[in-house]
Amino acid sequence: MTTLMAWRNLRQDPIRFAATVIGIVFAVVLISLQTGMLLGFMKTSAGLVENAGADVWIMARGTSNVDQSGLLNESAYYRALTVDGVESVARVVIQFSGWKRPDGGMESVILVGFDPRTGMAAPWNIVEGSRDALLAPNAVMVDRLYADKLGVSKLGDRVEIVERMAVIAGFTSGVRTFTQSPYVFTSYNNALRYTNVEHGGASYMLVKAKPGVEPAALAERLGAVLTKEEVLTTSDFASRTRQYWILTTGAGSALIMGAALGGLVGVIIVAQTLYSATVERLAEYATLTAIGAGTGYLNRIVLTQSLIAGGIGFTVAAVIASVLAASSASSPAAVLLPPLAIATIGILTLALCAIASLLAIRKLYTIDPTSVFR
């Protein structure tokens, strides 16, 4: 009965009802996209760390994120090998560099030189070429998402990195960077030609633990030996990198503020609509009160109205947001909306609509049942 009454009230003014639903759709799409971008940035910012295949990272002290690091000397490599529980250690070079397109334009890239012997920090999601192809002199691999930006389109294309020739030996798919300076993968030996790193040195030393050895325990043992360097597990370094790019730079705060603004817009629209509808029907509510309907019954009518509008608005918005998120798969900025995120946004939408109904519910407490007989 309550649902029928609420639905009848909404249908009596279809234009206002449509405007309310459209407002909710706008607010929920905004919340969804901002949330999806935040989730996408969180995954992208630490993608290189989480896909490197290492258990422990050794780095220069003060390193805030994977894309910006100091240099380690060769002695760190051999000291790490002496620690009990270490299966292998790989030198990895990660540095910003200059990329000259075939048309002469310049782009900033992040060079990633991995150790082919261990495969740690090697490219993933390879769709053209192979990892072994990067063993060839001057061979590099980039992601298809950035191909146009870098001025390349096929295997064998030639470019320059710091005035040295580089040849496209493969492409990955979906390997994004937070800074929008694309990752350029190559072998460690090739990377030495494009950077100022001396042979034996590295930006990071990546460690693989022996079977049965916990990364946290191994990191502690490595830290006791490598006192001048910093040692972190992969999960800890990924968290540090995400925190730096998402929180320290303010990018995450901007997205969170955008989502909050969307929620505020939705609350205001629903509250204003329900309040106006309640004021227009005060005589009807007074009649219901006069014939014995309690305040709780009237409150449920208004609350149900808000939930109906919220449910319809969320359903439409979820479809729109999902389509937009899917279309971002081919763009450098990914929008991730997993089922859990969509369900959470749905619950939040209904909760905000319920909160918005409180303004109209307050008005019900001012009803005078005797006004029906005047």
- Show pLDDT as tens, one digit a residue, over the chain (374 residues): 567 766 666 677 678 778 778 888 888 888 888 888 888 888 888 999 999 999 999 999 999 999 998 999 999 999 999 999 999 999 999 999 999 998 889 999 999 999 999 999 999 999 999 999 999 999 999 999 999 999 999 999 999 998 899 999 999 999 999 888 999 999 999 999 999 898 999 999 999 999 999 999 999 999 999 999 999 999 999 999 998 888 777 767 777 777 777 777 767 776 676 666 655 555 555 555 555 555 666 667 777 877 888 888 889 999 999 999 988 877 777 888 899 999 998 998 888 878 777 766 665 555 545 444 45
Predicted pLDDT of residue 254:
75
Query: Both 163 and 269 in a single domain?
Result: no
With 0-12 / 13-18 / 19 or more C-beta atoms within 10 angstroms meaning exposed / middle / buried, residue 177 is buried
Type of residue numbered 80: A
pLDDT score at 206: 97
Q: What share of the chain is helix, strand, coil (3-state, %, to 5)?
A: 55, 20, 25
Contact 233, 52 (CB under 8 A): no
Residue ranges making up the domain that contains 69: 62-227
Do both 283 and 312 map to the same domain? Answer: yes
222 and 300 in a common domain: no
Residue type, 134: L
The answer as to whether 239 is a domain residue is no
In a domain, 321, yes or no: yes
Do 40 and 66 have their domain in common? no
Does 138 share its domain with 206? yes
Q: Last residue of some domain: 227, 258, 285?
A: 227
User: Is 243 inside a domain boundary?
Assistant: no
Q: Is residue 173 part of a domain?
A: yes
- pTM as predicted: 0.81
Asked if residue 7 belongs to a domain, the reply is yes
Q: Is residue 200 part of a domain?
A: yes
Q: Are residues 98 and 142 in the same domain?
A: yes
- Domain boundary at 194, 227, 260, which? 227
pLDDT of residue 240: 95
138/36 same-domain check: no
Residue reference for tokens 């989480």: 50
Distance CA 354, CA 304 (A): 8
Check if the beta carbon of residue 185 is closer than 8 Å to that of residue 134: yes
Both 83 and 223 in one domain: the answer is yes
Q: Are residues 161 and 281 in the same domain?
A: no
285 lies in the same domain as 319: yes
Q: Per the structure, how many domains does the chain have?
A: 2
Q: CA-to-CA distance for 195 and 89, rounded, in angstroms?
A: 21
Q: How far is CA 192 from the centre of its chain?
A: 32
pLDDT in the model for residue 292: 55
236 inside domain: no
Question: Looking at residue 373, what is its pLDDT?
Answer: 44
Q: Does residue 110 fall inside a structural domain?
A: yes
Asked if residue 143 lies in contact with residue 176, where contact means CB atoms within 8 angstroms, the answer is yes
> 68 and 38 in one domain?
no
163: left (phi over 0), alpha (psi -120 to 50) or beta: left
Say if CB 138 and CB 165 are below 8 A apart: yes
25 and 81 belong to one structural domain? no
> What pLDDT is attached to residue 239?
94
